[in-house]
Structure 1
Amino acid sequence: MSIIQYYLSIRKAALWAVIALVSACVTPYEADFKQQPESVVVQGFVSNQPGPYTIQLVRPANYSFAGYSIGIQGAKVYITDDTGQREDLVETLASGQYKTQKLQGIVGRTYQLHFEVNGKKYESRPELLRDAGTIGRIYHEAFQSISPITQERQLGGWHVYIDTKDPAERGNYYRWNSVHYKRLVACGSAKDRYGNPLYRLFCCTDCWDIVRCLGPDCIKVANDALNNGQEIARQEVATVPVDCRDKYYLEVEQQALSREGYLYFKTIKQLLENTGGVFDVAPSAVPGNMSCLTDPDEQVLGLFGAVGITRVGYVVDRSNAERSACPQELPDPPSGPPPPCAPCEESLYRTGQKPRFWDL
């Protein structure tokens, strides 16, 4: 395999890791690996937010399987803490996914992942669950962009910022993440005999779409090496697009990471931002905290983390925006007998559970 092929496979593997870790629920991503590495990929974390927490175990497949990652089934997976408590995880119907049942992460405790596959034993290094602190202020500012049609300046969207205070002790590592919730009116559509949508079907119950931030621009990490004990001001945490003239609801997270977690996300961000040019940083293995006890030479990829999380809700009011780019929706149902409603199907991208801070 050439260095270019290796480089691309590392970047796509890194993207898989980003998608897998943006939430407690993990969605498999079919990374385009070009060979069959002798490795296990681990993704998952424990936090101080309510569970259940999901651990994903997969093996990257080679080109003969069109790049599909293969979930590891039948593993024995459990999490321990520094007080001697242990919780065994339950395998789900999704291949390679294992979930906790009662575990609730507690700030100040140390957690460790263990699992066994085909007689081999694996474990993470212990991870301390740190306090994420508080978000002192959250606010937004509009920014301008250049119209691709008129070449004139126009409203480009809104940047969302936070101000927060770093604790006095050194060695704090942060990650910021945001999730957008949009309340739905329609949860599906009626279709003709050819499968073309005709009109929208209203939701049977309350329902929200979940829009998660993905990609290198969404990996926002920092440490306190240069500003220990000082205020972290104007830290960008989200970008709100020009869309409909409505209120845009966000939940913003401030996460306290371990040093290993910080280096993991920082390396992924660097790999995803590289363009493949001759002046890019050479590809390297993404650092993790997993190892195989049975075979120390075996490569184990990924990260198990203990993540302290502070979460706040925030609304950007776009009703007075100078321009709109609202997508066209399907028409309402025709008059006459009401059509059936469409259910709100729970997934990583849709939920019927009211967001925690929702007040719209």
Structure 2
Amino acid sequence: MQSNFDKMLRRLIFLALILPVACIEPYKLDVPEGEQLLMVEATITSGPGPHAVTLTRTATYGSIFEALIRPVTQATVAVRDESGATTILTESSEARGSYFTSASFQAEIGKSYTLLIETIDGKTYASRPEKVESVPALENVGIRTVVIDQAGGENPRSGIQVIAEVNDPGDQNNFYYWRNGPATYVLETRPDLYTPPTSPANPDRIPQPKPCCFTCYRTEISSNRSMFVETDDDFNGLTTHIPVAFIEDDGRRFVRTFRIDVKQLGISQEAYRFLRLVKQQAEISGSVFDPPPATIRGNMTSLDNPEEVVLGYFIAAGETTKRIYVNNSDLTFHQNNALIPDDCLTVQGTSVSPPADWKP
């Protein structure tokens, strides 16, 4: 089939042949680099730390499309509560631009917190105070297998949808936000099938089986492709079941046993509105009926220039967590096992020993 590019190219050649030949002086177009906007991703909760604040700067456009999102390093980042007590965060030596509280830091229910930032060039930023809201305990969590058919006859995607039972209190209006904690699963590989890359020492790629290791425990950060937020407008004071996560089956995670911590956060109404708008923009389908994208302002402000646009939101929330184990037999549809012909310890985040709290 003739591509659109080929058709366009032929039209251009045709025009070049029929138009009079003339000397055209090239016009040099200087495209200025877009404004560098500070982006803040920050959440502290009443759960155990460490809690993270990530700072980046992003350009809206530019003549050089390299490193458009840059970490903001060597900043001074602090969280201050309503009584004036201040906690200084420490920048990670591995994840530049990410700043962490100590593991012992936990926000207190009912208190308000403010995020303070000073960049290395002396610019200062602050959030509006965020109150830590209470959140009902996350008592029951279940799963169901989800299969997503793909166009063109490709193999369907699949995974597990996590369903939380929410016992909503009737004496207040609650706003919920669900996040995944770290996930750990049994990873199986085939080191007996290992074949090294072609090299002068092994030009014919002769297999060199390894005696170890076939089984490891892998820990990863399991992020959601979608954002799960909800208000209790339709179930205030009732018990309801809500999808709060989707974890894709990549042919490795559910071969044996998979474990994940599901976090239920109680957030402010303002934080809920912000996350809801972010979710709506992320799910725009690209049709003519979609609303035009817009910059979503959060609760961060430049203290030097109130007109400066600062992206992101500082969230302070109550937290409750539920840990679940998923066995291979719990799924009603399985992806084909993804073969790794190597020692499982070569995969990032693995160990031959289970975590000390591994209790399936």
- Superposition TM-score tier, normalisation by shorter sequence: 0.7 to 0.9
Q: Which one of 314, 326, 330 corresponds to residue 316 of structure 1?
A: 326
Change (3 A) 1:40 1:187: farther
Contact 2:190–2:342 (8 Å) recurs in 1: no
Shift of 1:289: 0.7
Bigger CA drift: 161-170 or 191-200? 191-200
Q: Which one of 48, 51, 54 corresponds to residue 50 of structure 1?
A: 48
Shift of 1:49: 1.9
Alpha-carbon distance in structure 2 between the residues aligned to 1:78 and 1:51: 15
1:77 aligned residue: 77
Please list the CA deviations of residues 127-163 of structure 1 after superposition, one character each: whole Å capped at 9, or x if unmatched. 1122221123222344566697989xx9965533121
2:196 aligned residue: 191
SS at match of 1:79: strand
Shift of 1:276: 1.9
2:110 aligned residue: 108
Shift of 1:236: 1.1
Shift of 1:220: 1.2
Change (3 A) 1:173 1:355: farther
Q: Which one of 228, 235, 239 corresponds to residue 227 of structure 1?
A: 235
SS at match of 1:311: strand
Shift of 1:87: 1.5
1:178 aligned residue: 180
Bigger CA drift: 106-115 or 240-249? 240-249
Shift of 1:213: 3.1
Specify the code of the residue in structure 2 equivalent to 1:235.
I
Change (3 A) 1:149 1:358: farther
TM-score normalised according to structure 2 size:
0.73
Change (3 A) 1:212 1:200: farther
TM-score normalised according to structure 1 size:
0.73
Please list the CA deviations of residues 310-333 of structure 1 after superposition, one character each: whole Å capped at 9, or x if unmatched. 111112333275654232424467
1:236 aligned residue: 243
Change (3 A) 1:257 1:202: farther
Alpha-carbon distance in structure 1 between the residues aligned to 2:355 and 2:291: 41
2:10 aligned residue: none
Alpha-carbon distance in structure 2 between the residues aligned to 1:129 and 1:201: 52
Instruction: Count residues with an aligned counterpart.
Output: 313
2:168 aligned residue: 166
Contact 2:297–2:309 (8 Å) recurs in 1: no
Specify the code of the residue in structure 2 equivalent to 1:220.
F
Shift of 1:288: 0.9
Contact 1:187–1:342 (8 Å) recurs in 2: no
Contact 1:245–1:319 (8 Å) recurs in 2: no
SS at match of 1:265: helix
Please list the CA deviations of residues 213-266 of structure 1 after superposition, one character each: whole Å capped at 9, or x if unmatched. 332xx31111122332222x1211234556455333232221111122212221
Specify the code of the residue in structure 2 equivalent to 1:78.
A
Alpha-carbon distance in structure 2 between the residues aligned to 1:168 and 1:110: 23
| Percent sequence identity over aligned pairs | 26
Shift of 1:167: 1.9
Alpha-carbon distance in structure 1 between the residues aligned to 2:161 and 2:97: 37
Alpha-carbon distance in structure 2 between the residues aligned to 1:201 and 1:83: 59
Q: Which one of 117, 140, 143 corresponds to residue 140 of structure 1?
A: 143
Q: How does 1:223-302 map to 2 (within 5 A)?
A: 223-231=231-239, 233-239=240-246, 243=251, 244-302=254-312
SS at match of 2:234: coil
Change (3 A) 1:322 1:205: closer
Shift of 1:200: 6.6
Question: Root-mean-square deviation (CA), in Å?
Answer: 3.8
Contact 1:344–1:351 (8 Å) recurs in 2: no
SS at match of 1:191: coil
Structure 2 unmatched runs, 5+: 1-31
Shift of 1:81: 0.7
Contact 1:204–1:343 (8 Å) recurs in 2: no
2:99 aligned residue: 98
Bigger CA drift: 317-326 or 119-128? 317-326
Contact 1:142–1:159 (8 Å) recurs in 2: yes
Specify the code of the residue in structure 2 equivalent to 1:289.
N
Alpha-carbon distance in structure 2 between the residues aligned to 1:302 and 1:330: 39
Specify the code of the residue in structure 2 equivalent to 1:43.
E
Change (3 A) 1:213 1:121: closer
Change (3 A) 1:202 1:175: farther
Contact 2:118–2:125 (8 Å) recurs in 1: yes
Specify the code of the residue in structure 2 equivalent to 1:227.
F
Change (3 A) 1:332 1:222: closer
Shift of 1:65: 4.2
Specify the code of the residue in structure 1 equivalent to 2:196.
K
SS at match of 1:225: helix
2:27 aligned residue: none
SS at match of 2:274: helix
Contact 2:259–2:324 (8 Å) recurs in 1: yes
SS at match of 2:115: strand
Greater Rg over alpha carbons, structure: 2
1:15 aligned residue: none
